[in-house]
C-alpha cells in the first residue's frame, strides 16, 4: 500500500470514528431529552407564578414543581388517571387548567374548544361540601374557617397594605390576606358538585377563583405544588433574560429556594 493510500485509509477511519462519536453524543442527548420530557409529562412539572392571587404564600416570580404522582398521573389523550397516593385534600395548593375566552375564565370541561391556561389556587371545598360566605368569613359544612389576625401586614405590587391572617383548615395552617378597604364577597352558599373542587386564592380580596367562575374537575387538576426551586422578583418575558442587565435588576430571593409547600 502506498503512502497516499495509507493516508486515505487513515482519513476514512478518522471520519468513521467521528461519525460514530457524533451519533453516540446525539443518542445520549436524545435519551436525556426523552427522560426530561417523560419526567415533565408523568412526574414533576414546573410552574411559574405570574400574579398575586396567592399572596402571601406564593410571590410573583416564584417557580415551583407540581407533583403529578400524588393525585394520580393523567393518561395522555384522555381523562383517565392512574391510581394516586391520595385524593386532593382541603388546604392543598393545586395547579390546574381552565379555559379562557378573552378575559373570561371558564371551567375547562364546560368549554373544551377554548384555549387552556394554568392556574394555581388552594383547595377549600371537596365534592359534596357545603361552602358558605357570611360576614366576610368562609364556612365549610357549617364550620367557620378560622382566620385570626396576625398583627402583620403585606404590601402587594400595587403598594396596597393588606392584613395578614392565620388560617386553620383542618390540620392545615397557612396565611391569607385581607384588604380592609374591600368587603369579602360573595355572600351565600353553594354545594360542591360530585367529582369537583372549590378553589380559593390566599389573596382573598384580589383573586378570581371558584367564587367567580365555578369549580374544577379532578381531570383538570395536575397535582399539588410541593417545592419552590427558584424565586426572584422578575415577571417579564423570557426573551428579556438575554439582556445581561435583567439579571442585575432581578433580585434573587435566596431564602425561598427549596421551600416546601403543602
User: Which amino acids are annotated catalytic?
Assistant: 53, 121
* Residue environment code for 209-225, b if the CB has 16+ CB neighbours within 10 A, otherwise e: bbbebbbbbbbbbbbbb
| Contact predicate 133/150, CB 8 Å | no
The DSSP letter of residue 192 is P
Distances from the Cα of 108 to the Cα of 36, 116, 152, angstroms:
27, 7, 37
Preceding amide of 47 cis, omega within 30: no
Name the 3-class secondary structure at 84: coil
Ramachandran angles phi, psi of 148, nearest 5°: -100, 140
| Contact predicate 121/207, CB 8 Å | yes
Amino acid at each position: 500500500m502506498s503512502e497516499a493510500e495509507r493516508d486515505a485509509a487513515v482519513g476514512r477511519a478518522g471520519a468513521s470514528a467521528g461519525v460514530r462519536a457524533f451519533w453516540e453524543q446525539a443518542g445520549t442527548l436524545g435519551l436525556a431529552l426523552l427522560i426530561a420530557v417523560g419526567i415533565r409529562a408523568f412526574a414533576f412539572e414546573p410552574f411559574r407564578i405570574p400574579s398575586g392571587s396567592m399572596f402571601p404564600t406564593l410571590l410573583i416570580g416564584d417557580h415551583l414543581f407540581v407533583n403529578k404522582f400524588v393525585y394520580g398521573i393523567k393518561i395522555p389523550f384522555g381523562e383517565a388517571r392512574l391510581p394516586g397516593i391520595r385524593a386532593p385534600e382541603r388546604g392543598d395548593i393545586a395547579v390546574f387548567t381552565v379555559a379562557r375566552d378573552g378575559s373570561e375564565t371558564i371551567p375547562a370541561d364546560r368549554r373544551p374548544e377554548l384555549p387552556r391556561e394554568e392556574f394555581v389556587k388552594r383547595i377549600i371545598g371537596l365534592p359534596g361540601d357545603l361552602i358558605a360566605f357570611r360576614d366576610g368569613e368562609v364556612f365549610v359544612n357549617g364550620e367557620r374557617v378560622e382566620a385570626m389576625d396576625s398583627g402583620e401586614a403585606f404590601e402587594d405590587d400595587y403598594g396596597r397594605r393588606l392584613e395578614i391572617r392565620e388560617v386553620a383548615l383542618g390540620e392545615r395552617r397557612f396565611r391569607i390576606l385581607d384588604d380592609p378597604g374591600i368587603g369579602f364577597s360573595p355572600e351565600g352558599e353553594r354545594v360542591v358538585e360530585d367529582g369537583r373542587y372549590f378553589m380559593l386564592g390566599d389573596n382573598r380580596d384580589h383573586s378570581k377563583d371558584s367564587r367567580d367562575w365555578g369549580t374544577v374537575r379532578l381531570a383538570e387538576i395536575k397535582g399539588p405544588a410541593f417545592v419552590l426551586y427558584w424565586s426572584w422578583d422578575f415577571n417579564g418575558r423570557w426573551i428579556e433574560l438575554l439582556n445581561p442587565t435583567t439579571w442585575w435588576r432581578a433580585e434573587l430571593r435566596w431564602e425561598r429556594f427549596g421551600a416546601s409547600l403543602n
